[in-house]
A and B are shown apart, each in its own frame.
Chain A
Amino acid sequence: MKLPTELNKIWAFATRSLLVNRRNVFAVFEMLFWPLIGILSVGLLTRFLRLEADIVTFVLIGAVSMNVIQIAQLDLSYSLLYDVWSKSLKHTFIAPISLTHVLVGAGLVGLLRGFLVFLVMGLLSMWLFDMDLSRPGLPGLLIFLLGLFLNAAIIGMSVLALVLRFGHRSEVAAWSFSYLLFLLCGLYYPVTILPAGLREVAQFVPLTHFLDYFRHFYGFPLLSPRPLVYGFGQSVIYLGLGYLLLRWTLAGALRRGTILKLSE
């Protein structure tokens, strides 16, 4: 295995993703319009409800997190969907690439786009709604962002697995799954208000712990003693399981002829 060769394969997916994003006006729309709408609608709602500053921050952290995750996971999900939509999937898999090249290459662009969304939304929140993003300090901020990207990677890998198993009809179902996670993790409310049963389920969503960690800088009590251990621990487990699931679905796709069907 030669490093430059491997880097070129990763770069292939990253550059393709960048090119498509650059050319597609809707990709820019996706990155600016929805986050803007998200932050404005949530922010204005907090104004209307006359919420206290720390509660506003609590809610805005949720809005920022959701948009960052949604944008970052899209690039991962799109990495193979581009091939599915253009019916060129078999040409990609005839080449000597592995899932790692796809995931890392597209993931890098997701990271970049997610970071830009975070900047846009963070600055808007600071400017329009007096949110203080500096309170957690740079390490706290970076750890939280890393947590968001890990969650995006988990969702993106799940979408990819579903696409390889069921074809592009599964896209909507896959993305709906991410909203279910947002509901569980306490995006706009503490998970303690979830009904019993769901509250326990929420503990198995890494985003719950990253939100818990980040919000504690704003004076909200920690719900678990070691949120980062749970957050990163669960993320690593889910990413590992996600990778195995992807490999398994790819092997199934090679056996069932799904790659050919998706190229017709």
Chain B
Amino acid sequence: MQPAIEVQGLYKSFPTGFFKPPREVLQGLDLEVAAGSIFGVLGPNGAGKTTLISILTTVLLPDRGRAAVLGLDVVEDAARLRERINLAASSARFLWTLTVEECLRFYGRLYGLGGRVLADKVEELLHLFRLTTHRRTKFESLSTGLKQRLALAKALINTPELLFLDEPTSGLDPEMARHTQEEILRLNRDTGLTILLTTHNLREAEMLCSGVTFLKDGRLLATGTIPELQARLGLGDRLSLTFKNGVPPLDYQRLPGVLSAEVRDSQVLLVLDRVETRLALLLEEITRQSPHPPEVRVKEADLEELYREITH
């Protein structure tokens, strides 16, 4: 199956003024995103996330390298590609004087929709994003959350095959953020829509993304699924076992799923790839050696840790 996004040796720099060297924003990026997946691009501010998305959405030309989205070159086939993608950016901004419905109609028409097809699509999106009661509210009068919902609705107006979401839940209240995340998952599940999103919310990436890439100073530091990256960096769920009658003599390092092991007095500290799938077997193995069950404490791995480890 052809990847939804293929990036090879992508460079982009911006001029900083006369006699000053250009600012290198992307420095030889290689990336591949599988069709039908939700893929996250993570990184600190200034890492190059927005520049990458802008190139992939054809509103910025790269200096060098090649990028293809849905098999179409972002430079050569930009016009055809634009029909099949869309974007919802953080801090949604549209023309202040248009109402929610007019805004959707305007963008729908930009994609060539009209008549009954446009009317039905607008109704569907108003309903989907709970905007029906706000349809006649002008954009300037909407709350931040409603603006963000409208941005998401607009991003689906052309029924895209690939959706770019630039911090999709930024500014939303927790309930709306959860609803949006569920909606993103539902869209991906029900329609097979490929989604590339940037986020600062690491929990969100963990919840939504099947694969992530970490970007810093225009370079990709690591790419893969979250468990893969955990394993590669030796990061995982932390399991602490405390034995009252001494630590049973076992080669903990060789137990299945153990990434690292350390024995301290009456305590064994293990790092596991996935605690929920390994714990039962692990305890079974230990109780074979010791009749007294240990006190168990679990700290699940989080992406914060992964992020810190990769970006520093």
* Bound CA span A16–B109, Å: 10
The total of chain B residues at the interface (CB under 8 A) is 37
Cβ of B199 under 8 Å from chain A: no
Give the total number of A-B pairs whose CB atoms are below 8 A apart. 101
* Bound CA span A87–B90, Å: 12
User: Which residue of B is nearest A259, CB measured?
Assistant: B59
Known pairs A20-B97, A95-B110, A263-B93; list 11 more (Cβ under 8 Å).
A11-B114, A12-B110, A15-B105, A15-B109, A20-B95, A90-B87, A90-B89, A91-B154, A93-B59, A257-B54, A259-B60
Are B111 and A96 touching (Cβ within 8 A)? yes
Are A88 and B112 touching (Cβ within 8 A)? no
Which of B78-86, B204-212, B214-222 touches A? Answer: B78-86
User: Which residue of B is nearest A83, CB measured?
Assistant: B95
Tell which of B89, B94, B109 touches A86, judged by Cβ atoms closer than 8 Å. B94
Cβ of B184 under 8 Å from chain A: no
Cβ of A169 under 8 Å from chain B: no
Tell which of A9, A12, A94 touches B58, judged by Cβ atoms closer than 8 Å. A94
Are B97 and A24 touching (Cβ within 8 A)? yes
User: Which residue of A is nearest B85, CB measured?
Assistant: A94
User: Which residue of B is nearest A101, CB measured?
Assistant: B110
Give the residues from 73 to 94 in chain A that come closer than 8 angstroms, CB to CB, to chain B: 82-83, 86-88, 90-94
Cβ of A50 under 8 Å from chain B: no
Q: How far is the CB of A167 from chain B (nearest CB, A)?
A: 15
Are A16 and B15 touching (Cβ within 8 A)? no
Give the residues from 1 to 53 in chain A that come closer than 8 angstroms, CB to CB, to chain B: 2, 4-9, 11-12, 15-16, 19-20, 23-24
Give the residues from 91 to 136 in chain B that come closer than 8 angstroms, CB to CB, to chain A: 93-98, 102, 105-107, 109-114, 118
Are B60 and A260 touching (Cβ within 8 A)? yes
Cβ of A237 under 8 Å from chain B: no
Question: Which residues of the partner chain A approach B94 to less than 8 Å between Cβ atoms?
Answer: 86, 88, 91
